[in-house]
Amino acid sequence: MPIFGTALLALCTVLGVALGEILGAVLHVKANVGGVGLAMLLLLAARQALARRGWLRPGLRLGIEFWAFLYIPIVVAMAAQQNVRAALSGGPMVLIAGLGAVTLCFALVALLGRLMKERADD
């Protein structure tokens, strides 16, 4: 069953990369925009959907969780390969985009924390 977790990861990766390419084309950027991150979000969403339906067997869960734990170091390693100097030469837009993304993430974490607390209190 762990192989099904790997298959699900592969499917999420293909879909995430495709969505990243489409997003790059829509934004007129000649690059994949967030494909790896989108793949991780798809994997998390797929895991939740399988759990809600009762289809998340222990072996499948183990395969998904194994890749979910490895995915963060993989993303960090991929980000380390990016050309930071070239990105910074893009001007203040890089800083605006970075600060906007961090602010949005902080806001979403706070919102999810409140929602989870309310759900736990019920």
Q: What is the pLDDT of residues 38-49, one digit of tens each?
A: 888 888 888 889
Q: What is the pLDDT of residues 48-66, one digit of tens each?
A: 898 899 888 888 888 888 8
Q: pTM for the complete prediction?
A: 0.63
d(CA 108, CA 110): 5
Q: What is the pLDDT of residues 12-30, one digit of tens each?
A: 889 988 998 998 889 888 8
pLDDT at 13: 87
pLDDT beyond 70 at 83: no
Give which of 70, 67, 78 is closest to 31, Cα–Cα.
78
What band does 11 get if pLDDT is binned at 50, 70 and 90?
Answer: very high
d(CA 103, CA 62): 33
CB 17 within 8 A of CB 43: no
